Amino acid sequence: MIYGIDRGVFFMFFSALLSALNGAVAKMLGDDLSALEIVFFRNLFGVVFILITLKHTPAKLPGGKPLLLLWRGIFGFSALLLFFYTITRIPLGEAITLNKTSPLFVAILAFFILHEKLSRLGIVALIVGFAGVVLITKPGGADVGLPHLLGLIGGFLAAAAYTTIRKIKHIYDSRMIVLSFMTTGVLIPLLLFAVATRYAPKALDFLLAPFVMPQTLHIWMLLTIIGITATLSQWLLTKAYSSTRAGIIGIASYTVIPFSIFFGTLLGDKFPDIYTLMGIVLIVLSGLMIKKG
């Protein structure tokens, strides 16, 4: 216990706060850099950090599934790219809530790929969760477009990455899994930057964008903050899950949404309307039902 609060909840609380701050900084950078470049620098920082830890304490697990490790990296990079793109295009709270649909997709993928049973509560949770998505995206509404769809696809890809982790977590050190994701998130952007020098249609600006070297100290400071907050948030998340029951941590993890709404409002986002707030509540409720089911 820390100041009367469960240790795991304490760690998760600050992990969520840093995660929301990370999203807010990414939104600030969106005026100067593409989502692809933000992902590139974020992962470059992470690769350096992970390599330092591996040099200090080498991995001990045997490995042996390089293809799954590669897919984890591709899924993770793609999810992060769409997440950052969505952040720069729609209100922060909505972007992070759409990303938090990943537990729903995990349940679906686990059913079809890992052959895990889906309980009645799980089925109800899926219905509730996707009803929440409908309320947030308001199909046919004037404010809804490609970014919302990409945000939802990002949630699916994040779920694919999590499902892959569940198949390799017993044979790969967690740092090697993270390293595969971050290394992919450095190498693929380099390839896409090269393609964008010759072909970069506006319709694919979430994927193809030319590299623009940051010119100001302000931008470099924001990129440094993204790297630090992302690393600390992941470390606190790991500490949280190792300190108390996963169900409790899962509930605490949703504090990232009010934090995100707060930071987004500070950056000029409109406060969510009643339908969006109802959608957020339904998605959070469905996530908690999935964890319980």
How much is the pLDDT for 100?
85
Predicted structure pTM score: 0.85
Q: Give the chain's domain count.
A: 1
Is 210 among the domain residues?
A: yes
64 domain residue, yes or no = yes
Tell me the per-residue pLDDT of 110-133, one tens digit each, with 9 for 90 and over: 788 777 787 888 888 889 988 988
Give domain status of residue 39, yes or no: yes
Question: Which residue has tokens 């992070």?
Answer: 96
Question: How much is the mean pLDDT over the chain?
Answer: 85
Q: Which of 253, 262, 265 is nearest to 9 (CA)?
A: 253
Q: Has residue 98 been placed in a domain?
A: yes
Q: Is the pLDDT of residue 228 over 60?
A: yes
Tell me the per-residue pLDDT of 246-274, one tens digit each, with 9 for 90 and over.
Answer: 556 667 788 889 999 999 999 999 888 89
CA dihedral 47, 53, 55, 58 (to 10 degrees): -110
Contact at 8 Å (CB) between 97 and 155?
no
CA–CA distance, 25 with 151 (Å, rounded to integer): 18
Asked, for residue 2, whether it belongs to a domain, the answer is: no
Instruction: Enumerate the H helices of the chain as residue ranges.
Output: 7-29, 35-56, 66-89, 92-99, 102-112, 120-137, 146-168, 174-196, 217-241, 246-253, 256-266, 274-292
The answer to whether position 239 is within a domain reads yes
3-state SS assignment for residue 24: helix
Q: Answer whether residue 242 is part of any domain.
A: yes
Of 16-20, 197-201, 285-289, give the range with the top mean pLDDT: 16-20
Q: What is the pLDDT of residues 31-83, one digit of tens each?
A: 899 999 999 999 998 899 889 988 888 888 787 888 988 998 899 899 999 99
pLDDT, tens digit (0-9, with 9 covering 90-100), for 144-174? 678 888 999 999 998 888 788 777 878 888 7
Q: Report whether 269 contacts 92 (CB < 8 A).
A: yes
In a domain, 1, yes or no: no
| Domain of residue 75, residue span | 7-292
